[in-house]
Amino acid sequence: MIIIDNLSFGYSNHKILSIPHLEVKESEHLLVLGCSGSGKTTLLHILGGLLAPKQGKVIIGETDLYRLSGSQRDKYRGQNIGLIFQKAHLITALSVEDNLLLAQYLAGMAQNKGRVKEVLDELGLAEKRKKSVRQLSQGEQQRVTIARALLNRPRVILADEPTASLDDKNAHKVIELLKTQAGHYKASLLIATHDQRVKDEFDLQLNLTTS
């Protein structure tokens, strides 16, 4: 579960984001809609422990995220939060498997090739495990980033504009994949997007507007 209370973020006198209260339950899916500059990515970065709010609380499960030290928050993120960015942010010099093993290492968890194989199998990437990231198509790289986000069985999955560069067919495939995988792990799923094509696939929505 995610609970946000009295959350705000901004620079100087310019407030970018303000959310009085929001709750997302375990296994619940939230679509965050808004145009460029409305604070969608800022919200995901705050929920992911990457950007401290100016004020307010972010509670995930029983953990008050911003009562943790920076190093504690990094470890908590690695073990509990799956992040899917607009860009893959994969290390192209490494294989698919090594990128995922690195994610386990950075989260302070034991490197487990069996778990890496399991999650790649789930996403139809088993045959790509030893391939260099450079050898993958854009769609395959995106699925690797989803695999990385799911690797440590997260409680929360945060996806930033996951359909931005996709055609209609593949956009809906990615959304269904994220929803299915979130259900598999009983994770709360938050997708931030300006893509109106996917809005009918989510009952719970948050619309952000520019200040």
Show pLDDT as tens, one digit a residue, over the chain (211 residues).
899 999 999 877 777 899 999 999 999 999 999 888 888 999 999 999 999 999 999 999 999 999 999 999 999 998 999 999 878 789 999 999 999 999 999 888 899 999 999 999 988 899 999 999 999 988 888 889 999 999 989 999 999 988 887 788 888 888 888 999 899 989 999 999 988 888 888 999 999 887 5
pTM of whole model > 0.75? Answer: yes
pLDDT of residue 88: 77
Taking CA atoms, 9 is separated from 13, 52, 53, in Å, by: 10, 8, 5
Number of other residues whose CB lies within 10 A of the CB of residue 165: 13
Q: Decide if 39 contacts 16 (C-beta within 8 A).
A: yes
| Residues 11-61: tens digit of each pLDDT | 777 778 999 999 999 999 999 998 888 889 999 999 999 999 999 999 999
> In sequence order, which residues have a C-beta less than 8 Å from that of residue 142 and are 6 or more positions away?
88, 162, 174
Q: Decide if 182 contacts 157 (C-beta within 8 A).
A: yes
Fold of 28-40+69-207: Rossmann fold (3.40.50)
